[in-house]
Amino acid sequence: MLRVFKIIFDEILIIVNFVASQIPGRTGYVIRQAFFKIRVKETGENIRIGIGVEITGGENICVGNNINIMKYTSFYANDNGKIRVGDNISINSNTCIGAANGGEILIKNNVLIANNVVIRAADHAFESVKKPIIKQGHNGGKIVIGEDCWICANVVITKGVTIGDHSVVAAGSIVTNDVEPFSVVGGCPAKLIRKRDIPELCDIE
């Protein structure tokens, strides 16, 4: 009986979440902000949530202050995934941030993420040729995006990658290896294009 009530409750929550995610205007922002704070483990202040934002595994998601999440962005942190987002973050439309299946994603402060970005901290296992890939489970890893980074449109970041502070990833890139701080990278796979000017530490605002 308890299982039946849980199923009914989960279904009601899904319906309420869908309705709240589609309400336009300022009223929609207010309702989605309140609902977002209920759905995730921890939130700060000044959270703006666009239309159609999807959350799975909210109990494993923490976000900081001054967060702008634009329309149709998805967060997946179910099945032991973890997502932690810092302060002063802008996430543009249609972005997918997936840490499900044992992955972990850490986005530090003052990060810009453009539209259509995919950040995925777990991959399908495919070692066996005797079993369909769909039945082989996942391999989780960790992704870290450092302070003051700009992730441009249509970028894909794979598990096991750390992007150093103050770096830029050019549009359309696929990042499969670590990026050093103060770097501009691009391509498939992403490679160093140039280094940004590296000021004295005391000059960084």
In the residue annotation, 166 being an active-site residue is answered as no
The answer to whether the Cα torsion of 77, 83, 87, 92 is positive or negative is negative
The answer to whether 145 and 155 have CB atoms below 8 angstroms apart is: no
C-alpha pair distances (Å), 33 with each of 72, 79, 109, 176: 15, 25, 20, 34
Q: Which candidate, 97, 177, 105, 180, places its Cα nearest to that of 141?
A: 105
Measured between alpha carbons, how far is 169 from 190 in angstroms, rounded to an integer? 8
- Please provide the size of the chain in residues: 205
- Read off the amino acid at residue 95: T
Instruction: Considering the candidates 11, 30, 59, 124, report the single residue annotated as catalytic.
Output: 124
C-alpha pair distances (Å), 128 with each of 101, 131, 132, 135, 158: 19, 6, 8, 10, 21
The answer to whether 107 and 86 have CB atoms below 8 angstroms apart is: yes
Summarize the chain as % helix, strand, coil (round to 5): 20, 30, 45
User: How many of the other CB atoms lie within 10 Å of CB of 176?
Assistant: 14
Q: Which residues are catalytic?
A: 124
